[in-house]
Amino acid sequence: MDVDGKTRLYGIVGKPVSHSLSPAMHNAAFQHCGLNKIYLAFDVEDITGAMAGLRSLGIGGVSVTMPHKQAVIPLLDGIDPVAQRIGAVNTLLIRDGAIRGYNTDWIGAVQALEMIADLSAATVLLLGAGGSARAIGFGLKEKGVQVIVANRTLAKGQALAGELDCECCPLAEIDHLNVDALVNTTSVGMAPNTAATPISQTLLENIPAVMDIIYVPSETRLLREAKEVGCKTVNGMYMLLYQGVAQFELWNDCDAPVEVMREALFSRLGSSS
């Protein structure tokens, strides 16, 4: 793509961001659609200063990653109601110097889970109680899903369940639950600790669908063992893909080239999944 004086700039802000796959995904989409836009990674420590820069430079929009998803909220001119309830923002839309915050993480997670599970009248067990669990939990509630939170630290799980207005189950007692799907939002099983898994394989035997938000490795031990007992599975790459699709459509007011974005992500990871 030729960069000229009319090229519109987009990007991702966070620290660190050198590992981000978002530039590959969004630049492939911009190029495919013939848009004179480019997406770069910005390693940002001072989010307040960065926000002032975004306004003054006329940047069209950015993705927001850790550690700024909460810190950015007081600096916004407006925020989407769902992002407000989640308490975290991962997408900024900038128009005429005004910055509005959105959260597309929950959209990505729900769409990924819908690849393997019918969420109408479903009950989903959410493993973990951190920021990802919070976003996905609120997203599932938006879809009318019954959510159950299970977390290693019970008090933290109960706190999130209170905010979601849902049940919290001690991790040691999840074998008594009847659920339609399980979503692992923890980092257990992520590289380099790929031998770890958040729950034993025997607990997966009565769960039809399992999603792991981890995408390195592309098949965690949890997903491998879930497949072995007959579960449908999906990894975190699809959450990343679909949250990016939602970002693209927010920024460009047009349909995203989903297959182009998927190929850009999976080729970067060397995966054919």
User: Annotated catalytic sites, by residue?
Assistant: 69
Residues contacting residue 232 through CB under 8 Å, at least 6 positions apart: 116, 117, 208, 209, 210
- Strands (DSSP E) found in 151-215: 167-168, 181-184, 209-212
Pairing mode of beta strands 181-184, 209-212? parallel
In the chain, the N- to C-terminal Cα span, in Å, equals: 28
Q: Which two tokens stand for residue 165?
A: 């207005």
Q: Which two tokens stand for residue 174?
A: 């999840």
Q: If you write DSSP's letter for every residue of 218-238 in order, what string do you get?
A: SS-HHHHHHHHTT-EEE-HHH
**CA neighbor of 126 nearest in space, from 93, 161, 77, 173:** 161
Other beta carbons less than 10 A from residue 135's beta carbon: 28
Q: Indicate the helix (H) or strand (E) that contains 146.
A: strand 146-150
In whole angstroms, give the CA distance from residue 135 to residue 234.
Answer: 18
**CA neighbor of 63 nearest in space, from 9, 27, 13:** 13
Strand partners, 34: none
Q: Indicate the helix (H) or strand (E) that contains 136.
A: helix 131-142
Q: Which two tokens stand for residue 255?
A: 């349909």
Other beta carbons less than 10 A from residue 15's beta carbon: 15
